Amino acid sequence: MSLDTPIAQPDPMRPVPGLSRLAQDLLPALYQHRLVATSQLHRLFTPHARRPVYLRQQLATLRADGLVDTTTRRTSRLGRAELLWYITARGADAVAQDPTIPRRGYRISPQTAASQLQEHTLTVVDTGVAFVDWARRLGDECSPLDWEPEVAHRIRDGESRGADDAFMIPDAVLRYTHATAEGRRRMLSFFIEVDRATMQTTRLAAKLAAYARYQHYVPNGGRRSRSVREAWRDRYPAFPRLLIVLTGASERVLTNRIQDLRALAAADPHVSQLTAGVTTLQLLQELGPFAPVMTPLSGDTTPTDVFLAPTGGTRD
């Protein structure tokens, strides 16, 4: 097995007596992903059911117990109001009793759940769902808990721990185990950056520069001890590939955005060293991560898969 990052598969959580297995699986997912639509939960947890009747029953039970709550999607794509689910303070406290679930300092409020941040949060979930869907089709492994949103990575030393430029924060860190045609298993890790065509391209390029800084960041303590070791090595056996997922505009606009990103990356020698690629959410959903859906951020424009190996190169 080839390792890009270790994958921990937590035991099923059973924090609240009397709940079904599905209900107890839903709680940590809502805790981790903050805000999830009913349709997304259906694809994640009950994909073989034609209609999510049982899923809705279990969600209603969780809401009646005060463990989760709902808000309405501000912009529904279904032609009707769509419910979005989030965990309550009581539900989060129940999840926190399970030592296998990573702690989240952030707790979503009813105000945030109903805010304009909905669509970005749901698009990150859509990206994770696409990987889960394709893992099922391909016989790979990617569970509803195998991506974690907004994981902070320090990129600057100093006392101003709250400074915006002190951390690199991906929209998500995603883990995926891929079974190759040769019978090998690859354990992969990805930084996910989602762009709904609402951010200026130059601002997105500045975020890419933060990834480049993190790739080479050595904490001050390492320099004092003469041990030159990048900070990412304490988290990942290999530096994660960066996947930029575009959506929210026409195909022409997104194609232009990819070209602009490549031009900005070429102007920054540090960014051009990243193993990074750009795709659209539609391509990722329809063709999957191991089809040629990624345009490399630097170098050859030939589409490739999420391995982002150079043309003629190796995936290892």
pLDDT for 55-114, tens place per residue?
A: 999 999 999 999 999 999 877 666 677 899 999 999 999 999 888 888 887 888 999 999
The answer to whether residue 7 scores a pLDDT higher than 60 is no
- Among 239-248, 260-269, 303-312, the least confident range: 303-312
**3-state secondary structure labels for all residues of the chain:** CEECCCCCCCCCCCCCCCCCHHHHHHHHHHHHHCCEEHHHHHHHHCCCCCCCHHHHHHHHHHHHCCCEEEEECCCCCCCCCCEEEEECHHHHHHHCCCCCCCCCCCCCCHHHHCCCCHHHHHHHHHHHHHHHHHHHHHCCECCCCCEEECCCEECCCCCCCCCHHHEECCCEEEEEEEECCCCCEEEEEEEEEEECCCCCHHHHHHHHHHHHHHHHCCCHHHHHCCCCCCHHHHCCCCCCEEEEEECCCCHHHHHHHHHHHHHHHHCCCCHHHCCEEEEEHHHHHHHCCCCCCEEECCCCCCCECCCCCCCCCCCC
Query: How confident is the model at residue 78, as a pLDDT?
Result: 60
- Could you tell me the pLDDT band of residue 11, with boundaries at 50, 70 and 90? very low
| Mean pLDDT for all residues in the chain | 88
Query: How confident is the model at residue 241, as a pLDDT?
Result: 97
The answer to whether residue 171 scores a pLDDT higher than 70 is yes
More confident residue, 312 or 249: 249
pTM for the model = 0.89
- Among 72-81, 151-160, 190-199, 250-259, the least confident range: 72-81
- Could you tell me the pLDDT band of residue 8, with boundaries at 50, 70 and 90? very low
- Could you tell me the pLDDT band of residue 227, with boundaries at 50, 70 and 90? low
Q: Mean of the pLDDT values across residues 275-282?
A: 97
Q: 175-209, pLDDT tens digit by residue?
A: 999 998 788 899 999 999 999 998 888 888 889 99
More confident residue, 158 or 54: 54
- Among 22-26, 224-228, 237-241, the least confident range: 224-228
Domains in the chain and their CATH numbers? 2-114 (1.10.10.10), 119-296 (no CATH)
